């Protein structure tokens, strides 16, 4: 029985441990594992190889994905999906595991509707913005990368009595910025999910500076577009020299944490077993309320992800 795995959309640490577990577990079950390179574009172009132990040896500690990834406009067109289907038929592959986000899952749902190619999605994005799951593969590594960077920036902020505005990734979701603000002890947290009051923050920070505060850390989510605004506000209104630090794509890389490695193993194991158990499936493995379960792709894509309100409450002082 042939089964394949691929990555789609943005890369995240934890993908390589998932790929290695996929190959190892398939061999344990006497399945034929295949690797699809270059995401949906590779599926269209037939970049498919039969997996071997050697192909995944020594990859578990690497960030990113050895399979590479892509975003594909061509996959929106039926003729290219048909081409992808014909490529899978060459290897008798009718089961797929997809590491990606909701856009990737929507694409594979259309593929399933067209050609009945069964698939299970594994939520994999550092943004942690997929509805229906509390955790996405790679977010823990990204948070640890942020922790290290913010702690290092604090060192120089305190040395020069400066304010630093640190911009995190996350598209329109403020999860990375929120959790980083809480766990780094930042003074300001600017995210799309919360309204902020600069006058109130100014009064608090000026009072703290008069009482001896030497530096300020502000964590800003990229989706707010407020990074330069906060730098200027710190200098003009609060009265402290300020710098912007846009951390960018370092958040996508890095040695996967133990949590991301272990959860990658769990995700893949559940995904393979679901594909073997159900002849017609287009579901997603999710981590909800501290356990793994399955959700339909229609449910996953039915709503926009919202950060847990209990976490948002912790940021009240920082906005």
User: Residue 127 catalytic?
Assistant: yes
Angle (deg, nearest 10), helices 102-115 and 78-90: 70
Distance CA 291, CA 185 (A): 29
Supply 88's token pair: 């899978």
Catalytic residue among 94, 102, 127, 260: 127
The angle subtended at Cα 177 by Cα 300 and Cα 245, nearest 5°, is 135
Distances (CA, A) of 186 to 59, 189, 243, 251: 35, 7, 15, 18
| Residue 133 and residue 141 in contact, taking contact as beta carbons nearer than 8 Å | no
Backbone angles phi, psi at 72, to 5 degrees: -130, 115
Which residues participate in catalysis according to the annotation?
127
């Amino acid at each position: 029985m042939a089964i394949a795995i691929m990555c789609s959309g943005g890369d995240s640490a934890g993908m390589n441990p998932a790929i290695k577990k996929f190959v190892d577990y398939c061999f344990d079950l006497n399945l034929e594992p295949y690797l699809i390179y270059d995401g949906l574009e590779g599926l269209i172009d037939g970049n498919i190889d039969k997996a071997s132990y050697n192909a995944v040896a020594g990859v578990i500690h690497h960030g990113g994905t050895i399979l590479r990834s892509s975003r594909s406009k061509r996959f929106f067109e039926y003729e290219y999906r048909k081409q992808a289907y014909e490529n899978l038929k060459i290897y008798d592959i009718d089961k797929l595991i997809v590491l990606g986000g909701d856009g990737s899952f929507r694409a594979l749902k259309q593929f399933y509707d067209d050609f009945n190619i069964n698939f299970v999605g594994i939520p994999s994005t550092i943004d942690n913005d997929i509805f229906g799951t509390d955790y996405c593969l790679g977010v823990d590594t990204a948070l640890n990368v942020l922790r290290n960077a913010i702690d290092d920036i604090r060192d120089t902020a305190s040395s020069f009595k400066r304010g630093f505005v640190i911009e995190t990734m996350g598209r329109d979701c403020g999860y990375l910025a929120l959790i980083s603000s809480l766990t780094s002890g930042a003074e300001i947290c600017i995210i799309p999910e919360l309204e902020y009051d600069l006058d109130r923050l100014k009064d608090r920070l000026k009072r703290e500076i008069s009482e001896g505060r030497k530096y300020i850390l502000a964590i800003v989510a990229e989706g707010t577009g407020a990074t330069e605004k906060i730098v200027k506000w710190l200098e003009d209104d609060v009265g402290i020299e300020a710098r912007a630090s846009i951390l960018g794509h370092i958040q996508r890389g890095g040695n996967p944490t133990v949590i991301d490695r272990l959860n990658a193993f769990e995700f893949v194991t559940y995904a393979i077993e679901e594909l073997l158990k159900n002849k017609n499936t287009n579901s997603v493995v999710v981590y909800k309320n501290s356990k793994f379960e399955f959700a339909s792709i229609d449910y996953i894509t039915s709503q926009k992800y919202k950060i847990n309100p209990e976490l948002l409450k912790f940021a009240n002082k920082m906005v």
